[in-house]
Structure 1
């Protein structure tokens, strides 16, 4: 089940809840009982090399050989 991060606007605490994706936007009370919360945007990193260019193929200073 996905975990979502929320921040309480009343006390400033950040907390996580595990809930179904269908309920990700539903209101969530903070652990202290405050109702004024907002869901935080989570940055998810997905790795993979299927479409990555081979190392040293150019582009940028460190990959393109422009560094002395």
Structure 2
């Protein structure tokens, strides 16, 4: 189940809720009980060795292996 991050406009606290995607736009109350909250945009961090590996080098060149560009 995805987690969504919210910020309370009344007290300024930031909190997360786990809820189904179908309820992602539903109102959320902060842990202090305030109802004036907004859903924040979340960033997704992707890690692993593939993210830092160099891109493979192709043998040709140009747009489709060297055959159509020149």
Which bin holds the TM-score, normalised by the shorter protein? 0.5 to 0.7
Aligned residue number for residue 5 of structure 1: 5
- Once superposed, what is the RMSD of the aligned Cα atoms? 2.1
1:53 equivalent in structure 2:
55
**Structure exhibiting the larger radius of gyration computed from Cα positions:** 2
Q: CA deviation at 1:54?
A: 3.6
* Runs of 4+ off more than 4 Å: none
Provide structure 1 residue ranges, at least 5 long, that are not aligned to the other structure. 56-68
**Structure 2 gaps, min length 5:** 58-70
TM-score (norm 2): 0.66
Aligned residues: 53
TM-score (norm 1): 0.68
